[in-house]
């Protein structure tokens, strides 16, 4: 029984070594950029200003976004809102805005090229949960875009 | 200075309905509980405010509010609905306050993008436009992909409006596959002529004279949901 286990173990190790030797994967380099919006303020069903964030210079010639994270720094007493994030290619992700500070992630942009201007804005949902006279939402968003090249 | 008056509370009184009570007990003009939306009083207020309650814009807004968590006991108001409706087009598509969202390009934040990562035919016109843009910017920026100066968003937007709404996500993915390959071909051409060249350093632009859209595409093939170079080195 022990001999069989030893043989099996040897076979597994040999197999793994063969994999390492002949099927070494090519790892893509990775990078990210991070930008923060101005304070986004939306009132009574209206839209905030649109904050345009440039990727700046990005690395490589064939780039592909792996993930996007959004840290939402929400002002106390904010009413519900919707968060919109638009990539340079025009894909626009719609997210339920958190009413307390938190980080959201989105895979909606996976595979896109991050180069260019990103746009972020919020829209107040038009109803209140905080007893405000009119609903109001205020948030600052930090966008982090991770990509490989 | 103009003075904007809200007469909705008068309409409420006219219909003999009890005013909505707001927080401390004061009546807020134009405000009502979401559960009262379909009542005669509120519907009259909406119509008096110029809202077409049969329009797709209105229906899209109400649906979004309900899905977003506006429960029956929560308070909204006529002006909020009006403000929200301004951000939708007549088909009920969200386009944003400044019209920056192209219908068909709006997706849920937790959507799986692989569902629209499909190659479809991209017109020669837009393949050429994106190639010209990539080449021009590559030369101007010495190979640097500069997010501050690129014009790629406007090319994509124009392309999206040139195709059917239902094809826009897939079309954008397909166009980007071409863009990526054009960019790589330009980089490879400069690197082949000058192996020591680094991105950001100037180069002899005549190196790129023979790199055309046609020459790049001759070495491409559609593989699954992406575009691949034929001469893949193993």
* 3-state SS string for chain B: CCCCCCCHHHHHHHCCCCCCEECCCEECCCEEEHHHCCCHHHHHHHHHCCCCCCCHHHHHHHHHHHHCCCCCCCEEEHHHHHHHHCCECCCCCECCCCCCCCCCCEEECCCCHHHHCCCCCCCHHHHHHHHHHHHHHHHHCCCCEECCCCCHHHHHHHHHHHCCHHHHHHHHHHHHHHHHHHHHHHHHHHHHHCCCCCCCCCCCHHHHCCCCHHHHHCCEEEECCEEEECCCCC
As a whole number of angstroms, the distance between CA B19 and CA A46 comes to 25
- Percent of chain B residues past pLDDT 70, beyond the cut: 86
Q: Which of A21-25, B150-154, B193-197, B226-230 has the lowest mean pLDDT?
A: A21-25
Strand B106-108 relative to strand A92-96: parallel, antiparallel, unpaired? Answer: parallel
Sorting pLDDT into bands at 50, 70 and 90, what band is B11?
very low
Sorting pLDDT into bands at 50, 70 and 90, what band is A7?
confident
Long-range Cβ contact pairs of B180-184 (< 8 A, separation 24 or more): B180/A61, B180/A62, B180/A63, B180/A113, B180/B227, B181/A62, B181/B216, B181/B220, B181/B227, B181/B229, B182/B130, B182/B131, B182/B134, B182/B135, B182/B213, B182/B216, B183/A61, B183/A62, B183/B134, B183/B138, B183/B145, B184/A61, B184/A62, B184/B229
Q: Which of A10-19, A66-75, A132-141, B23-32 has the lowest mean pLDDT?
A: B23-32
When scoring B63, B145, B169, B211 by the number of chain A Cβ atoms within 10 A, the one with the most, hence best to mutate, is: B145
Q: Is residue B119 less than 8 Å (CB to CB) from chain A?
A: no
- Judge whether residue B146 has pLDDT over 70: yes
Say what the pTM is: 0.85
Q: Residue A135: its chain B contacts at CB < 8 A?
A: 76, 80
Q: CB contacts < 8 Å between A and B, how many?
A: 182
- Phi, then psi, of B106 in degrees rounded to 5: -90, 125
As a whole number of angstroms, the distance between CA B156 and CA B101 comes to 12
Q: What token pair was written down for A77?
A: 């007493």
Q: Is residue B9 less than 8 Å (CB to CB) from chain A?
A: no
Q: Which of A106-120, B18-32, B172-186 has the lowest mean pLDDT?
A: B18-32
Q: What is the pLDDT of residues B152-211, one digit of tens each?
A: 999 999 999 999 999 999 999 999 999 999 999 999 999 999 999 999 999 999 999 999
By CB atoms closer than 10 A (0-12, 13-18, 19+), residue A117 is middle
Average pLDDT score over chain A: 89
Segment 65-94 of chain A within 8 Å of chain B by CB: 80, 82-86, 88-94
Chain centre to alpha carbon of residue A102 = 13
* pLDDT for B220: 95
Whether B152 sits inside 8 A of A92 (CB atoms) is no
When scoring A24, A33, A89, A129 by the number of chain B Cβ atoms within 10 A, the one with the most, hence best to mutate, is: A89
Closest CA of chain B from A138, distance in Å: 16
Q: Residue B172: its chain A contacts at CB < 8 A?
A: 89-91
Nearest to B97 among A47, A95, A112 (CB): A47
- State the maximum Cα–Cα separation within chain B, in Å, rounded to a whole number: 84
Q: Which residue of B lies nearest to A26 if distances are taken between CA atoms?
A: B234
Segment 124-153 of chain B within 8 Å of chain A by CB: 143-148, 150, 152-153
* pLDDT for B14: 43
Whether B148 sits inside 8 A of A54 (CB atoms) is yes
ipTM of the complex: 0.86
């Amino acid at each position: 029984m022990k001999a069989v286990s030893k043989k099996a173990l040897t076979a597994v190790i040999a197999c793994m070594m063969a994999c390492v030797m002949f099927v070494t994967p090519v790892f893509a380099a990775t990078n990210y950029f991070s930008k923060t919006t101005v304070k986004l303020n939306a009132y009574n069903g209206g839209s905030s200003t649109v904050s345009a964030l440039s990727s700046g210079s990005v690395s490589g010639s064939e780039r592909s976004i792996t993930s996007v994270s959004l840290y939402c720094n929400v002002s106390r007493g904010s009413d519900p809102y919707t968060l919109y994030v638009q990539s340079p290619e025009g894909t626009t992700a719609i997210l339920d805005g958190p009413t307390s500070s938190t980080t959201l992630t989105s895979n909606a942009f996976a595979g896109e090229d991050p180069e260019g201007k990103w746009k972020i804005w919020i829209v107040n949902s038009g109803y209140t949960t905080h007893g405000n006279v009119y609903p109001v939402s205020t948030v600052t968003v930090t966008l982090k875009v991770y990509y490989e090249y | 200075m103009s003075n904007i008056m809200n007469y909705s509370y008068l309409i409420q009184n006219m219909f003999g309905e009890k005013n909505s009570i707001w927080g401390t007990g004061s009546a807020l003009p134009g405000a009502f509980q979401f559960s009262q939306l379909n009542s005669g009083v509120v519907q009259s207020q909406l119509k008096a405010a110029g809202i077409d309650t049969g329009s797709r814009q209105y229906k899209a807004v109400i649906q979004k509010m309900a899905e977003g968590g506006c429960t029956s006991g929560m308070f909204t108001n006529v002006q909020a609905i009006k403000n929200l409706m301004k951000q939708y087009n007549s088909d009920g598509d969200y386009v944003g306050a400044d019209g920056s969202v192209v219908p068909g390009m709006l997706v849920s934040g937790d959507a799986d993008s692989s569902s629209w990562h499909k190659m479809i035919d991209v017109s020669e016109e837009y393949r050429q436009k994106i190639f010209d843009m990539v080449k021009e910017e590559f030369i101007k920026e010495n190979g640097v992909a500069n997010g501050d100066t690129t014009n790629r968003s406007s090319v994509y937007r124009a392309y999206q409006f040139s195709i059917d709404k239902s094809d826009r996500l897939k079309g954008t993915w397909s166009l980007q596959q071409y863009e990526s390959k054009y960019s790589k071909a330009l980089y490879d051409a400069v690197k082949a002529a000058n192996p020591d060249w680094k991105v950001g350093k100037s180069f002899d632009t005549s190196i790129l004279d023979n790199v055309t859209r046609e020459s790049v595409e001759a070495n491409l093939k559609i593989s699954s949901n992406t575009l691949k170079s034929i001469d893949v080195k193993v």
